A and B are shown apart, each in its own frame.
Chain A
Amino acid sequence: MDSVIYRKSTGEHLFDGFNIALLLLLSAVTLYPLLYVLFASVSNPVAMARGGPLFWSLKGMNFAAYQAVFSNAMIAYGYRNTLLYMTLGTTLNVLMTAFGGYALSRKGLPGQKILMLAIVFTMQFTGGMIPSFLLVYNIGIYDTIWAVILPNAIATMNLIIMRTSFASVPVELEESARLDGAGDFTILFRIFMPISRALVAVIIMFYAVGHWNDFMTGLIYLRNRLLYPLQLVLREILIQENLQESMGGITQDREIISANIKYATIVVATLPILCVYPFVQKYFVKGVMIGSIKQ
């Protein structure tokens, strides 16, 4: 915005300095809790408690907490389950979203308007948590892996975005493929999906992160702790026990040790996403844009 002919006034210099200071402060406030957790997980718990909020005194660095975390059977199960739910769930999500987006973008589909209206309506009105729970129970998938995967098979927002994208694929491409004898599946997977691959990548990532971070589905539809996804295991470790502490009180000694392990648990559960994130950031940003245009 600064052009050559324009010279900054003192007030603007002041503002620039103030602005940069403010943004630095915001970045520090954002990073501080994350770094605190990282440092706390490898610090000597007693030194950490004494050091207070200044975490950079790394006295007695050790990885005992991580050993405890990795040898915890529940966390191992949670990890395995989440990976399974994420892989299977995302695959189903993408297939269903692509099917729906393709079919609903066909011109001349009978009742298309009513179908779209019926689908969009589900975004605005739901039967509620209890009827959904009873449904899952009654069709016999309660407390199975399917309870985590099937009820979330499609995120309607993604379906709408996909449909819009497919609708803009040139008709000629499809027509020439049909002349070559291609069926709907071939056209979808050989033409539509590759053409929209940037969008497909965005959608895959939104679904995958959604599965990784999801705890509501498991909370409502699962009872068997061996089926718990990672987030539900985390809830037990990070929240339920802690709340008991703050309301009831556990001996000081145990609390300090377990705090150490809790921080290590957070690191183990969050690091995968934060490591992948810088590489896929631009796709996510793109996803926000597409979503907002559609709104």
Chain B
Amino acid sequence: MLLPVLLYYVIFHYGPMYGAIIAFKDFSPFLGFLKSPWVGLKHFEAFFHSIYFWRLIRNTISINLLDILFHFPAPIILALLLNEVSNRFFKRAVQTITYMPHFISVVVVAGLIINFCQSNGLFNALLGLAGLKKQTFLTNPWFFQPIYVASSIWQHIGWGSIIYLAALTSVDLQLYEQATVDGAGRFKQLRHITLPGIAPTIIIMLILRCGKMMTVGFEKVLLLYNPMVYERADVISTFVYRQGLLNQDYSFASAVGLFNSALNFLLIVMVNQISRKVSDTSLW
């Protein structure tokens, strides 16, 4: 039984790791993996010196930072608000509704965004209703990252709150009773009991999120961007896709991809070290 599983990992996971040696070669499909000539770090140097290097790094980091700044706290706030609702039916209805978009495919979400962002689309109609002038959402680079983050919040805020709601149920109810007896209002209870109670969960989630810095976003960026907004939208993984699969510059794209993988791995190791110090949780 173990055999097919091991074969799978060897072929489809360790195979590509071996194949990544073409990052150090001038790969030609005719010569194959072994016979293509070695070129050392040529492709890495070309990438580090290319005009795209800093743009890709900057976009990858700024999209992720914006996401951590705005998207990360959103589910926590939602969970806290839901926790204050005493009507069970209302609470469950809000939960069911906000979980829903999580299951919509990224293609459909991107399609919706693009449709709504057209010059005669929903967003411009709303702007018109508010008496504001039309915007070219899709071709203005400055709109890209806010749209990206806002739509992520829309799609995942409910789903993300599940874990915090679970953490909230494990906060000791006696603490609240005592606080009430001591005359602490609900705001004080929130600050001194609820938040400290779910702080470990928040920290772990934040650490995990930081470990995903280099990989998050590829699919949605690929679907949403266009050449006019590359300046603010292009990230390392979309660059790898274009260089490797569309331009068939296999070795160069593999080098960029390997750089991304290595950076990501480094980040995870670092984050794990921090996680082990801050809390007792670690990935390994």
Contact = CB atoms under 8 A, between A and B. Distances in A.
Given A23-B85, A188-B1, A220-B245, A135 B16 contact: yes
B50 interface: no
Interface string A99-120: 1101110000100000101111
Contacts of A2: 86
A120 B208 contact: no
A29 B154 contact: yes
B157 to A, nearest CB: 8
Given A36-B122, A128-B254, A135-B12, A270 B138 contact: no
Q: Which of A52, A104, A109, A289 has the largest number of chain B CB atoms within 10 A?
A: A52
Nearest to B225: A243
Contacts of B139: 246-247
Contacts of B1: 99-100, 102-103, 184-185, 188
Interface in B177-202: 177, 180, 185-187, 189
A243 B114 contact: yes
A215 B106 contact: yes
B5 A126 contact: no
A133 B245 contact: yes
A119 B9 contact: yes
Interface in A117-160: 117-120, 122, 124-135, 139, 150-151, 153-154, 159
Interface stretch (A57-65, A194-202, A274-282): A274-282
Interface stretch (B53-61, B62-70, B257-265): B257-265
A96 interface: yes
Contacts of B125: 52-53
Contact of A215 (B105, B128, B261): B105
A118 to B, nearest CB: 7
B108 A266 contact: yes
Contacts of B162: 285, 288-289
A30 interface: yes
Interface residues of B, number: 98
A246 B260 contact: no
A242 B111 contact: yes
A238 B110 contact: yes
A168 interface: no
B138 A243 contact: yes
Contacts of B18: 127, 131
B7 to A, nearest CB: 10
Contacts of B31: none
| Interface size range of chain A in the complex | 35 or more
Interface stretch (A11-19, A66-74, A83-91, A172-180): A11-19
B172 to A, nearest CB: 12
Nearest to A238: B111
B206 interface: no
Interface in B240-284: 240-241, 244-245, 250, 253-254, 257-258, 260-262, 264-265, 268, 281, 283-284
Contacts of B284: 117, 120
Interface string B83-122: 0111000100110111111011111101110111111101
B224 to A, nearest CB: 8
Given A5-B180, A125-B261, A270-B108, A135 B19 contact: yes
A281 B12 contact: no
18 contacts: A6-B180, A29-B154, A124-B268, A127-B20, A127-B257, A128-B258, A129-B240, A129-B244, A130-B250, A135-B12, A185-B1, A239-B111, A262-B115, A266-B111, A274-B100, A274-B104, A277-B100, A281-B96
Given A23-B81, A134-B250, 15 more contacts: A1-B186, A118-B9, A120-B284, A122-B13, A127-B17, A129-B244, A134-B16, A134-B33, A213-B107, A215-B105, A215-B106, A238-B110, A247-B226, A274-B103, A281-B99
